[in-house]
Structure 1
Amino acid sequence: MIDNHILAPVFIHLFTAILQLIAWRKTISQRFLSVGGAFIGLLIAIRLFAQVYNEGPLHLNASNWDAPFGIVFVADPLSTTMVLITSIAGFAVSIFSSIGLNRQRMLYGYFPIFHFLLMGLNGAFLTGDIFNLYVWFEVIIISSFVLMTLGGRKAQLEGAVKYMSMNILASTFFLTGIGILYGITGSLNMADLALKIRDFPNKPLVGVTSIFFILGFGIKSAVFPLYYWLPSSYHTPPSAVAATFGGLLTKVGIYAILRVFSLIFIPDDFTRTLFMVLAVLTILTGAFGAMVKPNIRRLFSYLIVCHIGFMLGGIAMFSKIALMGTVFYLIHDIIVKTNMFLIAGFIRQVRGTMDMNKLGGLYKDYPIISLIIALVLFSLVGIPPLSGFWPKIYLFQEAFIEKQYFFVAALIIGSLVTLYVIAKMWADVFWKDVPADVEVENKFETMPPFKKILLVLPILLLCGVTLYIGIQAENIILLVDKITNELMDTSPYIRTVLGDKAFEQ
């Protein structure tokens, strides 16, 4: 079905950014515009998700050029779910940003760039054109680079150089793969590529081409050994920026792998083995890196790497149950990781530092907020019946069936290390007393009441979503089942874009 509203999640953030550029020096207006635009974007995402869930995939041919000759946008269960989760996270971060950032950074253009980033994310999820996916990736990279350097501190610039260098390398691999694909098929439309690649006789060339995409998406996802830029850069920007990065940016790479390797490059034995080796090494690297980090955001950065390996392992097995685990974990991880970095920002606002050696006594001072944070931490660890528990069941189940015992061991180690570092963080930051040689800052107490509410509200909002995902897991399982059915059988996607004629031989 053709629907012109597919691009609404993109345009709402574009228009919000333009209005904020007009109000460049008026930071109060920018805050209201940001929260309002993010809220409208959330409503649009809910509407689009509901329509696709109830009526099936939608598409839009840009300028009315029929596929595969024109640029096409496709809204299927996977893409609309990603848009919805992105909109929830974006709305929470926009509220936190209105309080958690100083005015000087707002004057540098934080809010319009933030909405350009959300625009790029939604565009990447909705595009049905492989070159257009590259273009949206560039929008994301440029926006995120500006956000990372906002304020111009030395640590930010150092982290941004590493971030930008690796992402330029990823884009080079990605663009090279696209060039080869176009050279051998004459098409850039992903649905059309799916049909042409299956009939292409030179399978070794197709395999070599897929390696370029693995390298490109692997760097963006922070997969071993291409992950080191992430923990070196995600701790440097403001917490609102780090929350957007930690929750969303690496997950775009996982989405791209799911989309391209279910639609175009169906994984063969070599590709699945490669993915599995990378998954195990990614889990172990992230887990062991997290064990030695005293800084909260550095710890969370390594946990991002560790849990990317969980999702990549599901893709490596490439069965229905394994993909259900990957997609479920993807939904859970975006919400939880965004919230974790917001929690880190809250701790910095309250105590002025994120060094666990200098922290303590938060539970004593703020018991209710600490209990809310504890629920988020339990969800991250995967305590049943919270959101992180259910996808691991699918991953463990399929790993045993497929006899992937190295992956089982890595899952156990990654889960136990996550439990250990989160328990240590809770003990150091919330449970123990403040060290005697540390002067306690109580910035939170001096804030006006409305600022306190706006600082805690996004954490509470995302905690509520996390609890829903865990406690109402049967609803998420139904959604994940629908998504994985269309990942395993891509004919509905292809038929949506190309029509029934695509299957007429």
Structure 2
Amino acid sequence: MTLSPDLIRTLTPLPVLVPMLAAAITLIGGRRPRFQRAVTMSALVIGLVVACLLLYLTDRDGISTLQVGGWDSPIGITLVVDQLSAVMLVVSSIVLLAVMGFAVGQGIHDGTERQPVSIFLPTYLALTAGISNAFLAGDLFNLYVGFEVLLAASFVLLTLGASADRVRAGVSYVMVSMVSSLIFLVGIALAYGATGTLNLAQMATRLDGIPVGTRTAVFGVLLVAFGIKAAVFPLSTWLPDSYPTAPAPVTAVFAGLLTKVGVYAIIRAHTLLFPQGELDNVLMICGLLTMLVGIFGAIAQSDIKRLLSFTLVSHIGYMVFGIALSTQQGLSGAIYYVAHHIIVQTALFLVVGLIERQAGSSSLRRLGGLAAASPVLALVFLVPALNLAGIPPFSGFIGKVALLQAGVAHPSALSWVLVAGGTVTSLLTLYVVARVWTKAFWRSRADAPEGDLADVSPSALIDESEEDIAFDDRADVGRMPALMLIPTIGVVAVGLALTVFAGQFIAITDRAAADLRDRSIYIDAVLGPGYAEQAAATGGTR
């Protein structure tokens, strides 16, 4: 017991340091693919173990902080681990490890000579470090650094293969991300100008003493920056055009994780810096529109990747809904739904990668008969699809019920509108995934409008210049590499675990939400016991 504080402080920087060190090692060993893969997988396994330990220790002993370089808070860089950041680290570590396993299996089976794999692995590790840094950041500028590491790494991953579509999507993605980063910098400048600090804990105490209009303006600027990264409507139009063009593993990790980093930033800013709720109605309206616009966009799609990209946008609305309620119940439901959606969305995009690997396309106009051709693939798609739609007893149903109950309990007419919108969105999500099932898996391929066409080979998915040929001429139809299938099944199993152990996990999210609602726990952990009370007594001038 006495070793817990020292142990957790030792573990705290490892989610950032281990992948960064591994990235440097893999970059040096670029001509040795097996060595690169071994280092990468080892680093991700270590990251998962460390994240699980951090979650256990923070849930048992409470929040912990680390002052990097020995500088006392609030001057130095502070890394903070609470239940929220620990949950995000665990879920992201699971996804990052599974997707890397899928990518390694794909590379081993299809060959790596046509892709810059020596760059992919270190870049992927840098992305991992950026995600972890964002979750652990205890000051606003360090959070910005985490986002910028994500931006640099994600641009490289998004444009792997350098096809015209990928470069075009990458340029669009970078332009939008740079605008978001610029707005974030403006928000940082405004926050510093208003409070004289970038430390989140100290900023939280000083924001209470500034005029409401100034505080709302700062929050509004930060919300725009985070809303772009989280793909909240009307700042979400960039996502469906960016993610579907990337390789399957990249699309899976982007869809599962990157938008959730933005959602995490909104949760942290809303609960710690701006808990007064001045913009809650705006958030509710944005959440409702995000749900509906996203799912209506999904209905109009004929490509599974684009369809899932729109459902990704749509279900961000549920998370924003929970945050905007400003209640412990709503916040707990939002955290649970974030974890659920990371797992399920990643699983679905990995399944699409298997569909492309097997059938040569993700277009519903070309697909059919997949259930007969591969019952395993059909099952691996069906489980997360029903989970996404919120069919009982899956975790999607549990998360939505938690959010809808929180909405019903909220004393606002607007919350009832969101309850109705959430219900409609869930039903339309079921319609969308049922359409994919009936067209891609259930009907005969002969009934598909372009069912006789497919790409030449898995490598043709990298080079769009290949001509289409008859699907029946593919020699490898119906074969799924085990090294790609096993990680996909693993992610689906984690989604099922969120259902089986929902009670235990919701207990964690409840405790996380309670601590987030009580800002003094975070403030005192960073700045010292009693700091929050003293700051309140002096009007936030400390």
Question: Residue 263 of structure 1 aligns with which residue?
Answer: 272
Correspondence for 2:521 among 492, 497, 501: 492
Query: Partner of 1:225: helix, strand, or coil?
Result: coil
- Matched ranges for 1:299-338 at <5 A: 299-338=307-346
| Preserved CA contact (<8 Å) 2:98 2:490 | yes
Measured at CA, do residues 263 and 443 of structure 1 come closer, stay the same or move farther in structure 2, by a change above 3 Å? Answer: farther
| Residue 25 (structure 1) aligned with residue 31 (structure 2) | yes
Runs of 4+ deviating beyond 4 Å: 441-447
Q: Is the 8 A contact 2:31 2:118 kept in 1?
A: no
User: Matched residue of 1:358: which SS?
Assistant: coil
**2:238 matched to which residue of 1?**
229
> What residue ranges of structure 1 are gaps of 5+ in the alignment?
none
Indicate conservation of the 8 Å contact 2:139/2:198, yes or no: yes
Partner of 1:142: 152
Match of 2:188 in 1: 178
**Match of residue 391, structure 1, among 386, 392, 399:** 399
Q: 2:82 aligns with which of 71, 76, 87?
A: 76
CA distance in 2, matches of 1:362, 1:398: 40
Q: For residues 459 and 99 of structure 1, what CA distance do their matches in structure 2 show?
A: 11
The answer to whether the 8 A contact 1:381-1:422 is kept is yes
Count of matched residue pairs: 500
Q: CA deviation at 1:186?
A: 1.1
SS in 1 for 2:395: coil
Residues 443 and 327 of structure 1, relative CA distance in 2, 3 Å threshold? farther
Aligned match of 2:101 in 87, 95, 105?
95
User: TM-score, normalised to structure 1's length?
Assistant: 0.96
**Structure 1 residue 38 corresponds to structure 2 residue 67:** no
Letter in 1 for 2:428: V
Structure 1 residue 385, shift from structure 2 partner: 1.1
- Give the TM-score normalised by structure 2: 0.90
| In 1: Cα distance, 2:311 partner to 2:273 partner | 30
Indicate if the aligned counterparts of 2:373 and 2:478 stay in contact, CA closer than 8 A: no
Q: 1:7 and 1:430, CA in 2 relative to 1: closer, same or farther beyond 3 A?
A: same
Stretch moving more, 404-413 or 463-472: 404-413
Q: Does 1:289 align with 2:289?
A: no
2:229 aligned partner:
220
User: Match for 1:67 among 46, 56, 73?
Assistant: 73
Structure-2 separation of matches of 1:217 and 1:463: 29
AA of the residue aligned to 1:251? K
Q: Name the structure 2 match of 1:198.
A: 208
Q: 1:161 aligns with which of 159, 168, 171?
A: 171
Q: After alignment, is 429-438 or 382-391 more displaced?
A: 429-438
Q: In structure 2, the residue corresponding to 1:73 is in which secondary structure?
A: strand
Seen in structure 2, the aligned counterparts of structure 1 residues 306 and 443 have a Cα distance that, compared at 3 Å, is farther
What displacement does 1:31 show? 2.2
Q: Which residue is equivalent to 1:274?
A: 282
Moved more, 432-441 or 82-91: 432-441
Q: Contact conserved, 1:350 with 1:443, CA < 8 A, in 2?
A: no
Q: Secondary structure at the match of 2:12?
A: helix
Amino acid at match of 1:390: I
- Structure 1 match to 2:122: 112
Shift of 1:35: 2.0
Within 5 Å, which residues of 2 pair with 1:386-465?
386-402=394-410, 403=413, 404-435=415-446, 437-438=451-452, 439-440=470-471, 444=476, 452-465=481-494
- The 1:178–1:443 alpha-carbon spacing in structure 2 relative to 1, beyond 3 Å, is farther
1:435 alignment partner, SS class: helix
Distance in 2, matches of 1:81 and 1:294, equals 35
User: For 1:369-419, what per-residue CA distance to the aligned partner results, in whole angstroms no more than 9, with x for missing partners?
Assistant: 322321111111111111101111122112223332321221122111110
Preserved CA contact (<8 Å) 1:356 1:428: yes
Amino acid at match of 2:471: V
Distance 2:18 2:384 in 1: 30
Q: 2:360 aligns with which of 352, 364, 384?
A: 352
Q: Which has the higher mean CA deviation after the structures are superposed, 97-106 or 278-287?
A: 97-106
Give the partner amino acid of 2:145: V
User: What is the CA–CA distance in structure 2 between the aligned matches of 1:349 and 1:415, rounded to whole Å?
Assistant: 29
Q: CA deviation at 1:443?
A: 6.0
2:256 to 244, 247, 250: 247
Q: Secondary structure at the match of 2:80?
A: strand
Q: CA deviation at 1:479?
A: 0.8
2:349 maps to which of 329, 341, 358: 341
2:134 is the counterpart of 1:124: yes
SS of equivalent residue, structure 1 residue 59:
strand
Q: Aligned partners of 2:476, 2:382: CA distance in 1, in Å?
A: 19
Which amino acid in structure 1 is aligned with residue 440 of structure 2? Answer: V
Deviation digits for residues 45-66 of structure 1 (CA, Å, limit 9, x no counterpart): 1122111121211110011111
Hey, what does 1:475 align to over in structure 2?
Answer: 504
> Retained in 1: the 8 A contact 2:33–2:118?
no
Distance across 2 between alignment mates of 1:443 and 1:9: 43
**Contact 2:374/2:478 (CA < 8 Å) preserved in 1?**
no
Task: Give me the identity figure in percent.
Answer: 35
Query: 1:444 & 1:260 partners in 2: Cα distance?
Result: 50
Cα distance in 1, alignment partners of residues 298 and 502 from structure 2: 28
Q: Distance in 1 between matches of 2:33 and 2:116?
A: 6
Stretches of structure 2 lacking an aligned partner (at least 5 in a row):
453-469, 538-542
